[in-house]
Amino acid sequence: MKMTDDEMDALLKSMELEEPSMSFSRNVMEQVALETAPVALKTKVNKQVIYSIAAFFAACMLGIFVYALTNSSFDYSWSKIELDLGKVTDKITSSQFLKLFLMLDAVIALIWLDSVLRRRLA
């Protein structure tokens, strides 16, 4: 025996919905109010784990520093240092560098303006 959708809709509309008694909701809410509130779970982080991770990174940085010192030579003299400002200023004032610098300044200014406006609205 198969029913069509229309027959099923008609059957569902003719049925009465069962409802709990009027005091059921009140009784349930009273029981909920009597329950103790759950305590927030606080995880305790072991300090030794944090210290060991920090020690690992400090040892890595110290190792890199020692490696750099052992593989470097310290035979520099002031007579070998020559500073040609012409090459540096040509690179700084090139059009590509200047456009990139101005674009980054504009983006930073827009981000700052957005944060100022959000603070004023809030």
| Residue ranges for the chain with pLDDT beneath 50 | none
Q: What is the pLDDT of residue 50?
A: 87
Which pLDDT score, from 0 to 100, does residue 107 have? 94
- Residue 13 confidence (pLDDT): 85
Give yes or no for a contact between 11 and 3, defined as CB atoms under 8 angstroms apart: yes
| 98 touches 90 (CB < 8 A) | no
Cα–Cα separations (whole angstroms), residue 105 to 30, 75, 98, 112: 61, 41, 11, 11
The full DSSP string for 37-85 is PPPPP-PPPPHHHHHHHHHHHHHHHHHHHHHHHHT------GGG----H
pTM above 0.75, yes or no: no
The pLDDT value given to residue 25: 83
Boundaries of every domain in the chain: 47-75+84-121
Q: What angle do CA 28, 33, 34 make, to 5 degrees?
A: 100
